[in-house]
Each structure stands twice: as structure tokens, then as C-alpha cells.
Structure 1
Amino acid sequence: MTVLFRPAVRADAREIARLFQISSEGCADYIWSQIAQPGQSLLDVGEQRYAREGVIFSYENCLIAEAEAEGRVIGMMHSFVMRHDPEAQPETDPVLAPYADMEIPDTLYISSLALHEGWRSLGLGQQFLQQARERCRDLGVEGLSLIDYAANTGARRFYERHGFEIVKTCQITPHPLIRVTGEAYLMHCPLSR
């Protein structure tokens, strides 16, 4: 089956939220739970978040993989340029605070790369990374960065095969919505690799 890679559109926002739920190991659900209105589902919050425009966490920063014959979203990558913000307020949320300094300025930060079941191990992740490298060149940034979890050994091996190295670690703060424990890894891949 032919897979088409295309920029996301606003109508993809709900599927983007579903894929974030897969890739974030519960972190997206935790963030959305902090802003949900009473009775609002976390998926609805995620959909609203990614339907916005002109902000980092928007469909505008997503690349979609679509099963062309069916017109069905099968995966996505969300990325944005990580910039140093000297005026940023310190993170006080106990679950999110460990990630506060897990950043590499002037890199394209991949905050999510996810594929639905049945579409993994087909080379699509590698194609997403190639698209990310091309975007790095277009934006003039020096490489890629992302956060992975120690518990997710398959993803870590995938990223290491594609030139990423662990450059920093932090301890995950346990929470009922977070599906992993242990360490999180900041990984970096220079554009030259």
C-alpha cells in the first residue's frame, strides 16, 4: 500500500491527539488533564490543543503519514525548533519539572513520532526522520533532539541506529497517568549524521 507524507491540516487534530497518546506514554494525557474542563475527555482536550494555529503545539507543526488508498492517517511526527528562552519561568509542576532542562537549543525537537499498530517496522519511522533532517536544513538548525524513555527499549534502539545518542537523563516522577517509570533520556543527533 502506498503511504503519502503530507503536512497536517486542522481536520487531523483528533488523530494527532490519538497518536500523541501513543508516543507520550501518558505524558500528553497528564498535561491535558491539567487543562480539561469538568467532564471533558482527554482526547477532546488534545484535539482542541492541536486544532489551534500560531502556537507550537498545533497541527501546523505535524507531518502526517496517510494510507493513500484509504485516506486514513496511520502516523505522524510533531516537531518544532527548540529555542533558548531566557525569560522562561521555572517549571513548578512536579511531574513536568524533571524535563525542564532536557532541551538542546537550536535543534529540531521531535516531540512525537508515532505510528498506529500494523504500520510499525515498515520503514516509515526512518522516512519520518529523513523528513525531519530535510526540515533541519531548511530551518538552518544543527540537528535533531527528542526525549525517550528507558522503558521503551525498542524506540531507543531505533533512534540509536539512526545516529541519536543519549546526552542527558532525568528521573520520571510517578503519576497514575504516566505509563512508564525509571529514567527519561534526552537524545541528540547532529545533522551531519
Structure 2
Amino acid sequence: MTGRITLRPGTPADADVVGRVFLACWHVSYADLLSPAALARYDEAGARALWRRVLTGHPDGTLVADLPGDAGVRGVVRFGPDPDDPDAGHVFSLYVHPDGQGLGLGGRLLGAAVDRLRAAGHDAATLWVFAANASARAFYARHGFTPDGTTRIEPEYAEPELRLRRPL
């Protein structure tokens, strides 16, 4: 299936569909991880607005994954310089719609983001993951990301997160 996946830069015109991908992931992937209040943080209008801001403000650091036919955009990755480490790049978010998971979209998106961070001269890539998200942690481990010992709890989510890092 990976040969039929098209990766391309995200544009503001993708905001609606990327917002739907994000929202589906938010409610399915985090249903057992986040509180109902945290899950309710995003609705359809809020997700659209979030991704409209991202896709307008950071178009060179966002890629979407298109599937052929009517499936369309089923994944998105956002990346750029790590705000906490000037030598590292950072994967800010990676979302694959639940109906597109298992098709190689996440791996392709993550690989492309890592390649672009390396090409930009970064010596490592970082990202944050919820500590309790075992499937995401396993996915990132398969792609060379390991915990670097840094943790945080953001007030709006109230769940422990681990920072993962991999050399580039």
C-alpha cells in the first residue's frame, strides 16, 4: 500500500480535512488516555481553526498523506526546529485517521519529517508522547525514538508525557 500514498505539503485549503483527521484521532486514540474535559477541548470548529492557523503559519513544516480515490487526506505531520534545543528538530504532531492506520501512512509521514529535519542540519529529532500511550511509544521506538529522561505534564491535558529523541 505504501506505493500508493502521496505525501505533499499541507496548505490552508487542507484545514477542514486535516481538522477532521486530527479530531478523529483525538477522540479515538486518546479516549482511554485523557479525561473527558481534555477530550472535549476540541470540537469540529476548534480543530478546523487550529489547523487553519498551523497550515497558514507553518506551511513548510507540514506534510499530508493522500490516499488514492475518495479516501483523500488521511494523515498529517508537523515538524520544525525544537523550541527547547537549537540543535534538534522536533515533530510537533503526527496524526493518522483511524481508518487509515496500519497502511504505512504514519511511518511514511514520520520518515519524511525526519529526512527534512536532517536536511535542515539538525543532529537529532525530538517529540512528546503521552506516557500511557503504549501503541504510540511502540510505533516511535520502531522508528528509532527512545525516551531521553525528560517528562512534563501540560495543565490542559493533565497527563504525563515523555520526550523521545533519535539521532539524525
- Residue number among 137, 148, 152 corresponding to 1:170 in the alignment: 152
Aligned residue in 2 for 1:87: none
The CA deviation string for residues 2-47 of structure 1, in whole angstroms up to 9 with x for no partner, is: 21111112211222333444359587975x89xxxxxx93134224
Aligned residue in 2 for 1:36: none
Greater gyration radius: 1
Deviation for aligned residue 1:71: 6.3
Aligned residue in 2 for 1:152: 133
**Kept in 2: contact 1:18–1:43 (CA 8 A):** yes
The CA deviation string for residues 89-109 of structure 1, in whole angstroms up to 9 with x for no partner, is: xxxxxxxxxxxxxx3332221
TM-score where L is the length of structure 2: 0.77
1:1-193 → structure 2 map (5 Å cutoff)? 2-21=4-23, 22=25, 30=41, 41-52=45-56, 55=57, 58-70=58-70, 72-83=72-83, 103-167=84-148, 168-173=150-155, 175=156, 178=157, 181-191=158-168
Give SS of 1:121's match: coil
Query: Partner amino acid for 1:4?
Result: T
- Which structure 2 segments of 5+ residues have no match? none
Judging changes above 3 Å, is the alpha-carbon distance between structure 1 residues 14 and 121 closer, same or farther for their aligned structure 2 residues? Answer: same
Deviation for aligned residue 1:73: 0.5
Judging changes above 3 Å, is the alpha-carbon distance between structure 1 residues 78 and 51 closer, same or farther for their aligned structure 2 residues? Answer: closer
Ranges of 4+ aligned residues in structure 1 off by more than 6 Å: 26-29
The alignment-based identity, stated in percent, is 28
Deviation for aligned residue 1:117: 1.3
TM-score where L is the length of structure 1: 0.68
RMSD: 2.8
Judging changes above 3 Å, is the alpha-carbon distance between structure 1 residues 59 and 12 closer, same or farther for their aligned structure 2 residues? Answer: farther
Judging changes above 3 Å, is the alpha-carbon distance between structure 1 residues 47 and 161 closer, same or farther for their aligned structure 2 residues? Answer: closer
The CA deviation string for residues 35-83 of structure 1, in whole angstroms up to 9 with x for no partner, is: xxxxx9313422431342xx3xx34321110012336101011111124
**Kept in 2: contact 1:150–1:183 (CA 8 A):** yes
Q: Which structure is higher in strand share?
A: 2
Give SS of 1:69's match: coil
**Kept in 2: contact 1:9–1:60 (CA 8 A):** no
